[in-house]
Amino acid sequence: MSILHIVNHPLIQHKLTIMRNKDTGSKDFRELLNEISMLMGYEVTKNLATVDVSVMTPICETKKPFLATDKIAVVPILRAGLGMTDGLLKLIPFAKVGHIGLYRDETTHEPVEYYCKLPTGIEDFVVIVVDPMLATGGSSSSALTFLKLRGVKDVRLMCLVAAPEGISYVQKYHPDVDIYVAAVDEKLNQDKYIVPGLGDAGDRIFGTK
């Protein structure tokens, strides 16, 4: 069963509150999103497998843990997921990056796919899908379905702010995927925006409105 991890760290909550403020500009918004992503990355990667390897210290040889795989991919959902990518790459510098382009149709609110480029051999990677907003869950769920069709077995979803509706939707269709969020907000409004939320994440990251 999918586990919902709410990463309720005071630093993350503090930074998120600044991001929610409508007067916070794009530069600060981007920086805070990357900082939070790095902090959340600690939780998302907490259960990565390790194997004991030999290491020669200046004193003696010993066996110590090492990541069992370097096949880790960060997959941002374009556009807004890009805002979480650098923060995660700071933590996992050897990770590969795939891109899935989806936008929500403004009338139907259904996700529309327009781009996809994934690392070769993605089926053997631990994949972290990132998108700041989990609203209806349509975009994240489509991205997860797409990755599973490409053979991905170990995939987790990292979002900043989620609506209860989006969490239920993803858990219904992807009961095998753990979800990591910094906050679960109240609800969606009639335009399917998260309330209180932080507005349109893509526009705030890229200054397009």
Instruction: Identify whether the C-beta of residue 57 lies closer than 8 Å to the C-beta of residue 184.
Output: no
Phi/psi of residue 199, each to 5°?
85, -150
* Interface pick for ligand PRP out of 7, 77, 130, 161 (rule CB under 6 A): 77
> CB neighbours (10 Å) of residue 45?
18
- Output the smallest distance, CB 29 to ligand URA, in A: 12
- Output the smallest distance, CB 179 to ligand URA, in A: 16
Per DSSP bridges, beta strands 99-104 and 72-78 are parallel
Catalytic residue among 104, 105, 107, 156: 104
> CB neighbours (10 Å) of residue 179?
24
> Nearest to ligand PRP by Cβ — which residue?
202
Regarding 194 and contact with ligand URA (CB under 6 A), the answer is: yes
Regarding 147 and contact with ligand URA (CB under 6 A), the answer is: no
- Output the smallest distance, CB 102 to ligand PRP, in A: 6
Omega of the bond prior to 104 within 30 degrees of 0, cis?
A: no
Residue among 67, 76, 63, 64 at smallest CA distance from 45: 67
- Output the smallest distance, CB 130 to ligand PRP, in A: 10
Q: Where are the alpha helices (H) located in 92-206, listed in sequence order?
A: 138-149, 164-173, 201-206
List interacting residues with ligand URA (CB under 6 A): 80, 133, 135, 193-194, 197, 200-202
List interacting residues with ligand PRP (CB under 6 A): 77-80, 102-104, 109, 111, 131-140, 166, 192, 200-202
Query: Which residues are tagged catalytic?
Result: 104, 108, 200, 203
